Amino acid sequence: MDLASRTTARFIEVLARQQRLDYAEERVRQAERTRSEVATWVSAARNPESDLQAAEIALAEVELARETAQHELASARMTLAASWGALTPDFGSVVGDLQALPPVESFETLAARLSMTPELWASRLQANTISARRRIAEARAKPDIDLSLGVRRMEAFNDQGLVMSISVPLGSRKRSGYSIAQADAELIALEARRDAERFERHQVLFDTYQELMHARHEAETLRTRMLPMAEDALVNTRRGFEAGRFSFISLAQAQRTLFDLNQRTVEAAARYHLLLVEVERLTATVEDMTP
């Protein structure tokens, strides 16, 4: 389960970095177009030389951001390929929709699954083994008295006699008592560890679930409310810039705002999917892992 979760998480990282690179490349194309426009207007004495310098700085900045995104994607692809033992990525672009956020069950439903996890199942099996060992020790603690009867010929008296033999093992009761005490101590320690692990897993699940819900809310708010407003703001700012009503700084700010919101949307959606993978790992049951 851990291997599957780790591979899924790496796939999500590749998908997210692909989208980040797509946005970075779009931003470069946008900055190149803006720089060309500003250069034309500076040549026509419509805009000051400082606007062209600012546009060139903005272009260099987004080109650096694109290069960073390329390196991050290359690293993520290499990490994903290593999941199945490949030294280099043996696949093209991965396909998926980060913005499709699958629903998740309620926390109470998920928490109920914690009692069926493989770790607790293994702990129960271990407890059963210790209990069986204790029962064996209890059985051995009862002395096995060996009683035998026989007839012996007594030549001295020219007669026969009845002979009874009793055999009692020495020391076995004491050794079995130690074994019983040891088993009892192991059961107590095992139960304490199991309770501590269950409480810790419950807390981890609660914290992860809260982060999951927050990531979903953030991704949906960005996509449905903030991004549409930023897109409208950029359209209006560009129109005003082209009409000479807004400065280049206003246009650059509107472009950066939209770019940053796109990046945040990708990050929030990717975080949701990664947290969902973690929730599924924490609540996986023995039945889930049975082919």
Residue 62 in contact with residue 31, Cβ under 8 Å? Answer: yes
Q: How far apart (Å, rounded) are the C-alpha atoms in residues 268 and 212?
A: 10
Q: Where does the pLDDT of residue 189 fall: very low under 50, low under 70, confident under 90, or very high at 90 and above? A: confident
pLDDT confidence of residue 179 = 73
**pLDDT tens-place string over residues 271-289:** 999 999 999 988 887 665 5
- Where are any strands of DSSP class E within the chain? 146-154, 159-167
**pLDDT tens-place string over residues 124-152:** 767 677 777 767 766 666 655 555 555 55
Tokens 């210790």 -> residue = 130
Residue 31 has pLDDT above 90, yes or no: yes
Q: How far apart (Å, rounded) are the C-alpha atoms in residues 236 and 251?
A: 9
pLDDT confidence of residue 81 = 95
pLDDT confidence of residue 178 = 67
Residue 33 has pLDDT above 60, yes or no: yes
Which residue in 80, 34, 28, 76 sits closest to 54, CA to CA?
A: 34
pTM of the model: 0.76
Residue 14 in contact with residue 77, Cβ under 8 Å? Answer: yes
Q: Where does the pLDDT of residue 235 fall: very low under 50, low under 70, confident under 90, or very high at 90 and above? A: very high
Torsion of CA 30, 36, 38, 43, to 10 degrees: 180
pLDDT confidence of residue 101 = 95
**Looking at domain 100-140+172-290, which of 1.20.1600.10, 3.30.930.10, 1.10.10.60, 1.20.210.10 is its CATH number?**
1.20.1600.10
pLDDT confidence of residue 228 = 97
Torsion of CA 80, 85, 91, 96, to 10 degrees: -40
Q: Higher-confidence residue: 156 or 229?
A: 229
Alpha helices per DSSP H over 47-112: 49-82, 107-112
Q: Higher-confidence residue: 91 or 211?
A: 211
Q: Is 152 helix (H, G, I), strand (E, B) or coil?
A: strand
Q: Where does the pLDDT of residue 121 fall: very low under 50, low under 70, confident under 90, or very high at 90 and above? A: low
Measured CA distances, 190 to 95, 169, 224 (Å): 45, 33, 50
Residue 18 in contact with residue 69, Cβ under 8 Å? Answer: no
CB-count exposure of residue 16 (10 Å: 0-12, 13-18, 19+): buried
Q: Is 244 helix (H, G, I), strand (E, B) or coil?
A: coil
Q: How far apart (Å, rounded) are the C-alpha atoms in residues 30 and 24?
A: 10
Q: Higher-confidence residue: 227 or 201?
A: 227
pLDDT confidence of residue 152 = 58
